[in-house]
Amino acid sequence: MPLEIETLKTNIKAAFKLGSAAGSEEKVAELIATAIHTYVIAADVTTPVTTVVTGTFAGTGSGPIAGSGSAICKGRLS
C-alpha cells in the first residue's frame, strides 16, 4: 500500500496529546517512534530483477548452458 501521510500526522498528534497528558517526554518519544516505524513498514517495495546465466556443462552430454529471466518482485518492509 502507498504510504499514508495523514495517518502518520494523526499518530504523531496523538503521541503529543497522550505523552503530554502523561507528563512524560519518554512516552512522547516512544509513541512518535512507533508512529514512524508503523508508517515506514507500511511501504510497498517493488524491485525489477533480471538474471542471465551462461556456462558449460561438463558432465555426460556436455555442452553450453544459457538462460535468462526477469521479474518484478513486490514485498513489504519488515
On whether the CB atoms of residues 59 and 35 are closer than 8 A, the answer is no
Task: State the chain's mean pLDDT as an integer.
Answer: 88
Cα(20)–Cα(26) distance, rounded to whole angstroms? 10
On whether the CB atoms of residues 7 and 15 are closer than 8 A, the answer is no
Confidence bin at 1 (pLDDT 50/70/90):
low
Q: Which residue has the cell 513486490?
A: 74
How many residues make up the chain in this entry?
Answer: 78
Beta strands in 6-77 (DSSP E): 44-57, 63-76
Confidence bin at 3 (pLDDT 50/70/90):
confident
Residue 78, pLDDT > 80, answer no
39-43, 53-57, 58-62: least confidently modelled range: 58-62
